[in-house]
Amino acid sequence: MTAGYRTFVVVNPRSAAGSTGRMWPEIEACLKASLGQFEHAFTDRQGGGAALAARALQEGYEMIVAVGGDGTLNEVVNGMFDVHGAPIRPGAVVGTLARGTGKDFVKTAGIPKDLEAAAAALAGRAVRPWDVGRITLARAGETERVQYFVNESDFGIGGEISRRVNASSKALGGFISFLWATLMALFSYRSKRVRIRCDGKDLGERQITSVVVAVGRFGGGGMMLAPPAVPDDGLLDLVVMPEMRPLEAVNNIARLYDGSLLSHPRVEHHRCTVVEATSDEKVRLGVDGESEHCLPARFEVLPRAIQVKVPGER
């Protein structure tokens, strides 16, 4: 049984190419074996997980579990904050059963992908404080919007890759879906000129392939985009990938998976609490594997803003 939490489960039945919905009776039984009784609801639209999580917290639930992909978890976390940016229920815990395409958050968190092992972890006592990134989006003539993330946000080709993956069937699984989208994007994407500031320091204009602002280490279905990132250090890891010709990028693609990205002589790495990025071009922005925004954007870290259920008894 879970360690005293009143639990609500947010389920994305469309995740994992629809298999989550088809397998829900099996998933539900596995969760009940570990957690005992809980309430649940299915998301019925993109973004619906945020509203479900917010309502559950307002009703007194203490742990929200996301059953779906990184996007579903992102929605749940966005539902944990009110319109003023304050936690709806301070001290609430978030857990996840990874059922999506990328499964990148659980790689950093050390949460098992196996259903029974992940459900057992939800029943343990271990929680880990986790930083949250807050993005403020305010294009000219538009109302300011706020988006939260717990893994990574990227702009440039990363946003384009997320768009391609989400437009595909994802039937080949996360690794192949993201790798194929990456290869296709490399041969069609034109680098963008962006202006970046890091904790108020002007890094100047850069012609970039991609820029990653990270809380966690992984993105893109297993790519190690920010190898040194520590999710509870109160800092954002900023990784700037310069303009590369397609063949140069392909020749270096292994670096995205083996942890050696930052050893490339032209890749920059900074640690900061605030990142600001603007461009005169349309630069697509990805957030925890979803792509629906564009620059300009301001990123800031909320240190240890949530508690994440992880394996163990600490």
Please count the residues of the chain: 314
- How far from 141 is each of 137, 205, 314, CA to CA, in Å? 12, 24, 49
In whole angstroms, what is the distance from residue 85 CA to residue 73 CA?
A: 18
pLDDT the model gives residue 313: 66
pLDDT the model gives residue 174: 62
Average pLDDT, the chain: 91
pLDDT the model gives residue 262: 97
What's the CATH class of domain 133-303? mainly beta
Do 102 and 221 touch, CB atoms closer than 8 A? yes
pLDDT digits (tens, 9 = 90+) for 20-43: 999 999 999 999 999 999 999 999
Q: Is the dihedral of CA 105, 111, 117, 122 positive or negative?
A: negative
Q: Is 117 left (phi over 0), alpha (psi -120 to 50) or beta?
A: alpha
pLDDT the model gives residue 276: 98
How, if at all, do strands 223-224 and 274-278 pair? unpaired
Percent of the chain with pLDDT over 70: 95
pLDDT the model gives residue 1: 44
- Asked if pLDDT for residue 141 goes beyond 80, the answer is no
Q: Is 129 left (phi over 0), alpha (psi -120 to 50) or beta?
A: beta
CATH 2.60.15.10 fits 7-124, yes or no: no
pLDDT digits (tens, 9 = 90+) for 229-260: 999 999 999 999 999 988 898 889 899 999 99
Please count the CA atoms within 13 angstroms of the CA of 116 that sit on its side-chain side.
1
For residue 293, name the pLDDT band (cuts at 50, 70, 90). confident
For residue 271, name the pLDDT band (cuts at 50, 70, 90). very high
Provide the 3-class DSSP secondary structure of residue 169.
Answer: coil
Closest CA to 92 of 68, 71, 64, 111: 64
Q: Where are the domains of the chain?
A: 7-124, 133-303
Which of the two residues, 245 and 208, has the higher pLDDT score?
Answer: 208
Q: Is the dihedral of CA 299, 104, 20, 174 positive or negative?
A: positive
Q: Tokens standing for 211? A: 């820029």
Do 98 and 277 touch, CB atoms closer than 8 A? no
In whole angstroms, what is the distance from residue 20 CA to residue 14 CA?
A: 6
Closest CA to 119 of 31, 39, 38: 31
For residue 102, name the pLDDT band (cuts at 50, 70, 90). confident
pLDDT the model gives residue 166: 65
pLDDT digits (tens, 9 = 90+) for 156-202: 887 777 777 766 666 656 677 777 777 887 888 889 999 999 999 99
Mean pLDDT computed over 145-165: 87
